[in-house]
Each structure stands twice: as C-alpha cells, then as structure tokens.
C-alpha cells in the first residue's frame, strides 16, 4: 500500500510524463497497429450497479500487480514508453473523440482494465506492446499478454484547434483524474473518493480498477466514462459525462456501497499544490514570486455567503472544516492569471485551471474540509479539499452523490460582490503583523470608500481598524490592518467589506502561523 508521500510524489511526477499529441505522420509512429478488443459481453449501468453492490458484500480482494520486471523499470525507461498517436482508439473516424492508453509498471503497479461499450455490449481493450513507441536503446524485454492491462488513459478532442485533436482529460493512478479547458495547462487533480485524509491512522486510497468508455456518436459534444471504485472500505460505481470546452465540464454520478462504516469520507475531492506566494515568500530561495497550482479555497455555502480561504504551506499539518448544510458550491481556484505572477516559462502556473464543484442533489449536513500538508518541493500535491458528510455511512448501505466538476479559469458564481485577488502578509514598521488584501469587482460599491465598512476580526487577538485605499492598478480597493499574535501558535483572521449592512465582498479567511 502506497503512503501519502508516495502518492503526492506520483501526482507530481506523472505531470511530467508525455502528454501532448504529436505531429501527424511522425516517422516514429508510421507502423501503428490498431487497438484490439476482446469478446463482447452485455453491459448496462443498472446491472453493473447491482454487481458493485454485491462486490461490497464480499471481502476486499486487492488488485493483482503487474509482473515484477514491469515494476523494476527505471523512471527514464517508463518515460520512454509513448502510446502511438496513430493507434488511438477511434482515430481515423468521424467521431469527436480519441483515446490513448498509458502503460502499467513502475509507479503504477496495479493495472486497470479498460473496455469499450457499443450497442449495449462491452469489449475489453487488449494490451499490445506494439501500440507503444519505445524511445530508449536499453529498454528491457518485458512479459506481455492481452490481459496485462493499462495504468490509465487520456481523451483527445478538438479543444484548441479545429483541425487537430489534443488531450483534455487523464484518468491515471488510484482514483485520480485531471482535466483542462481551452488554453489551459494541467494543474490540480480530482479524486473519486478521499478516505481518512489527515487522520493519524493513515489514509486509504481507493482504486478505479475498471473503466468502461461509451463509444460516442459522430455529433456528440460529450463522452461518457464509467469507473469501478474498489478499496478495503468501500466499492462504488462512478459515471462521468465529460464535455470539453472553454471550461471542461464533468457531470458525475457516484454510487457508494461501504464495506465498513465510513465516518471520514471525502466526496468530490480535489488535490492541488501550494508551495509559496506573497504571504510566505521569504521561506524559499526561488527566483519566482509565487509557485502554486491553486491559491485559495472558494466556498458558496448553503446560506448564500461566499468565503475565500487563502491557502498556506504550513510547517505542521492543518485541517479546517467549514460546517454547512447543502452547500451551493466550492473549489480550489487559481486567481492570479498573468505570467509575471509566477515568471515561470516552463510550468506556466498562470494557465492552471481551478476546479469548481456544484452539487446537483441534496447533500445535507456536513463540512467543506481543507487539508494543508507541509511541502518543501513543488512536485507534492499538498492541498486537499472535499465534502465530508456529517453522518457516517453504514456498511451495506447505498449512498448516491450527484455533482458537476468544472475545470475553469474562474468559478461560475455571480459577480455581484467584490472578490479577493491577492493576500500579502508581513511586518509593519512598528513590528506588528500586517495583512493587505486586494478586492476587485467593485461595481456594486460606492466610489467613496468612506461609505464602505470593513469588518475585521480574529479569534481573540488584537487587530487594528481596517484601512481602505483605492488600488490604482486594479481599480479595486486594498484593505490593510495589523494584529499582534503574541505567543500564539496560530491566529484565525476574518475580513469583509459591507455597505449599508449588506455584504459587499467575499469573506476573507486566513490562518496565520509564526
């Protein structure tokens, strides 16, 4: 069983693997066999759901690993395995999507089975080493068979260029998947289910062990993927209706069947990376002004209040819970969108998407949960968010969750109130701690800033009266205040702009630590 640090490193390293669709007619892919499919068996989502229900009543059986030689290859050898673009499933057809597959081995010891569904029949995709270009002279001879399996797959579509297809979603590793919209670069990931994240007893990582891809029709704008989730604690069936575009959307139907009582389950989980920004720039000797895939957690709670919780890279594990009843939405967002915000020519952090979750059914009582894990390198996805239901899920029960995921530059929320764009922390001239928060989107605010009330508070420490100034660069307002933490190990800070007793901005939250 992999631990969290292995998983975090894996998420970062796989982001470096080849992910772009190559040039047409590349000499390396001239001899490109077609994907072969196995024998047909009947398929229906209803029947599959009942099979998963039955599976949850049985003792968990771990997915078998690939043969040892596949596990012994080096990272460079694994990188050398590239699926031939001309061999993509549905290539050279009128269909709007193509599918390419990833080899198992090394960081992916448990292969997954991928099948294609057409006309109510399912046929497994057979493994063939001939589907891969091998760009290495020292690549070993490895045992292969039709049923070896894959580590995952990616879907391609005309998302950026009407003449050429490029990838927009990847399913690979545990229950992780990631997607991009138009002109975006891969960043944060989503997870089918998070179990016991941050618990002292350790985290459990369920596996998407089988996938079914529904063959689309020529005019379809979306593709449907089903996935079997399995782990010692739970079995489940997920259905994804995925539509690429300016923002790529996924409508998700999750059906969960616990094997044991689930008292700490994370629904619609997202995982991201936050190393540093203007709040803790002095901790890292780095030429870049900021390094992160996301800079804040945005929540629109059931009462209609909008909250912005600035992310941090803490020195010790931090867990924050935002108790709610039927949240309207939440997600990890990347708000700074200019190149100079990061000055990174390779990572292009300014093009990383946010991930917004919109429940499509009643989720009841629970909490949006934020886990912040110390990290010293940007390869580690150290930020996790999810919805944690208040009531445990009993073994033998069924729990359905319906929601939409949007991989987007900005959350699809109304712009009627000002939003936080930057948080800066440091010391004032008198040695006190100072917070400076920039708000933009001031359409609903008066030009006369004296008519705006700034509410600033904390959990018991002394804060100054907030000072509002016009920011000539953004056109918005900057709120500044000081506080004296004394010998406290952590200070919770809260600020909001109010006009005539009504909320005029997001609620800004920050956890200060020495």
Per-residue pLDDT reduced to its tens digit, 431-476: 899 999 999 986 667 788 889 999 999 988 999 999 999 999 888 8
* Pair 439, 335: CB distance under 8 Å: no
Q: Which of 25-39, 201-215, 397-411 has the lowest mean pLDDT?
A: 25-39
- For domain 4-18+33-408, give the CATH number: 2.70.98.10
pLDDT given for residue 448 in this prediction: 87
SS3 track for 295-330: CEEEEECCCCCEEEEECCCCCCCEEEEEEEECCCEE
Tell the burial category of 57 from Cβ atoms under 10 Å away from its Cβ (0-12, 13-18, 19+): exposed
Q: What is the mean pLDDT of residues 127-134?
A: 96
How far apart are the C-alpha atoms of 381 and 292, rounded to whole Å? 10
- In angstroms, the Cα distances linking 426 to 5, 55, 173, 310, 482 are 30, 54, 39, 15, 9
pLDDT given for residue 10 in this prediction: 53
Residue 349 pLDDT exceeds 60? yes
| Mean pLDDT estimate for the chain | 92
How far apart are the C-alpha atoms of 68 and 71, rounded to whole Å? 5
Strand positions, DSSP E, 3-120: 41-42, 81-83, 98-102, 113-118
Q: How confident is the model at residue 25 (pLDDT cuts 50, 70, 90)?
A: very low
> What is the Rg, in whole angstroms, of the alpha carbon atoms belonging to the chain?
24
* Residues forming CATH 2.60.40.10 domain(s) in the chain: 419-512
pLDDT given for residue 460 in this prediction: 82
pLDDT given for residue 15 in this prediction: 46
Strand partners, 298: 308, 331
* Between 31 and 275, the higher pLDDT residue: 275
Q: How confident is the model at residue 1 (pLDDT cuts 50, 70, 90)?
A: very low
The DSSP line for 258-285 is: ESS-BSSEEEEEEEE-EEE-TTSGGGS-
Tens digits of residue pLDDT in 474-514: 888 999 999 999 999 999 999 999 998 888 999 999 999 98
How far apart are the C-alpha atoms of 232 and 205, rounded to whole Å? 9
Taking the alpha carbons at both ends of the chain, their separation in whole angstroms is 35
The DSSP line for 75-90 is: HHHHHTEEE-GGG-BT
Tens digits of residue pLDDT in 41-78: 999 999 999 999 999 999 999 999 999 999 999 999 99
How far apart are the C-alpha atoms of 137 and 145, rounded to whole Å? 22
Per cent of the chain over pLDDT 90 is 86
The DSSP line for 207-238 is: EEEEEEEEPPPTT-S-EEEEEEEE-SSEEEEE
Q: Which class is 419-512 in CATH?
A: mainly beta
Q: Which residues of 431-445 are buried (b: 16+ CB within 10 A; e: fewer)?
A: eebbbbbbbbbbeeb
* Between 376 and 27, the higher pLDDT residue: 376
Tens digits of residue pLDDT in 246-288: 999 999 999 999 999 999 999 999 999 999 999 998 899 999 9
Q: How confident is the model at residue 6 (pLDDT cuts 50, 70, 90)?
A: low
């Amino acid at each position: 069983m992999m631990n969290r640090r292995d998983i975090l490193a894996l998420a970062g390293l796989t982001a470096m693997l080849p992910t772009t669709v190559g040039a047409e007619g590349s000499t390396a892919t001239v001899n490109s066999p077609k994907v072969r499919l196995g024998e047909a068996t009947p398929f229906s989502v209803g029947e599959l759901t009942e099979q998963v229900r039955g599976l949850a009543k049985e003792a968990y059986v771990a997915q078998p690993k690939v043969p040892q030689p596949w596990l012994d290859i080096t990272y460079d050898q694994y990188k050398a395995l590239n699926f031939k673009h001309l061999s993509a499933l549905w290539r050279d057809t009128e269909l709007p999507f193509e599918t390419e597959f990833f080899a198992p081995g090394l960081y992916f010891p448990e292969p997954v089975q991928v099948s294609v569904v057409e006309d109510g029949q399912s046929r497994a995709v057979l493994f063939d080493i001939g589907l891969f270009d091998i760009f290495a002279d020292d690549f070993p001879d490895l045992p292969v068979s039709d049923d070896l399996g894959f580590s995952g797959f990616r879907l391609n579509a005309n998302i950026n260029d009407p003449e050429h297809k490029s990838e927009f979603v990847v399913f690979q590793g545990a229950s992780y998947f990631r997607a991009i919209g138009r002109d975006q670069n891969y960043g944060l990931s989503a997870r089918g289910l998070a179990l016991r994240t941050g618990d002292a007893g350790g985290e459990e990582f369920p596996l998407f062990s089988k996938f079914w891809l529904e063959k689309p029709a020529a005019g379809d704008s979306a593709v449907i993927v089903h996935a079997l989730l399995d782990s010692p604690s739970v079995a489940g069936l997920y259905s994804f209706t995925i539509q690429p575009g300016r923002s790529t959307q996924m409508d998700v139907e999750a059906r969960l069947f616990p094997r044991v009582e689930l008292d700490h389950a994370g629904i619609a989980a997202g995982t991201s990376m936050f190393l540093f920004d203007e709040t803790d720039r002095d901790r890292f000797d780095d030429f870049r002004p900021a390094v992160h895939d996301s800079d804040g957690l945005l929540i629109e709670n059931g009462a209609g209040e909008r909250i912005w919780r600035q992310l941090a890279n803490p020195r010790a594990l931090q867990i924050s819970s935002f108790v709610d009843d039927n949240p309207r939405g939440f997600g990890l967002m990347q708000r700074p969108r200019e190149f100079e915000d990061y000055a990174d020519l390779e990572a292009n952090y300014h093009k990383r998407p946010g991930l917004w979750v919109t429940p499509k059914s009643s989720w009841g009582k629970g909490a949006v949960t934020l886990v912040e894990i110390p990290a010293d390198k940007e390869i580690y996805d150290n930020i996790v968010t999810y919805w944690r239901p208040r009531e445990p899920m009993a073994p033998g029960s069924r729990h359905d969750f319906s929601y939409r995921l949007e991989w987007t530059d900005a959350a699809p929320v109304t712009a009627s109130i000002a939003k936080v764009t930057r948080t800066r922390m440091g010391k004032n001239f008198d040695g006190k701690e100072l917070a400076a928060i920039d708000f933009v989107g001031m359409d609903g605010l008066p030009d006369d800033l004296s008519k705006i009330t700034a509410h600033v508070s904390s959990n018991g420490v002394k804060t100054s009266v907030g000072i509002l100034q016009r920011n000539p660069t953004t056109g918005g307002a900057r709120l500044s205040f000081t506080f004296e933490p004394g010998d406290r190990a952590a200070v919770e800070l809260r600020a909001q702009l109010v006009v005539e007793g009504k909320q005029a901005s997001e609620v800004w939250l920050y956890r200060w630590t020495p």
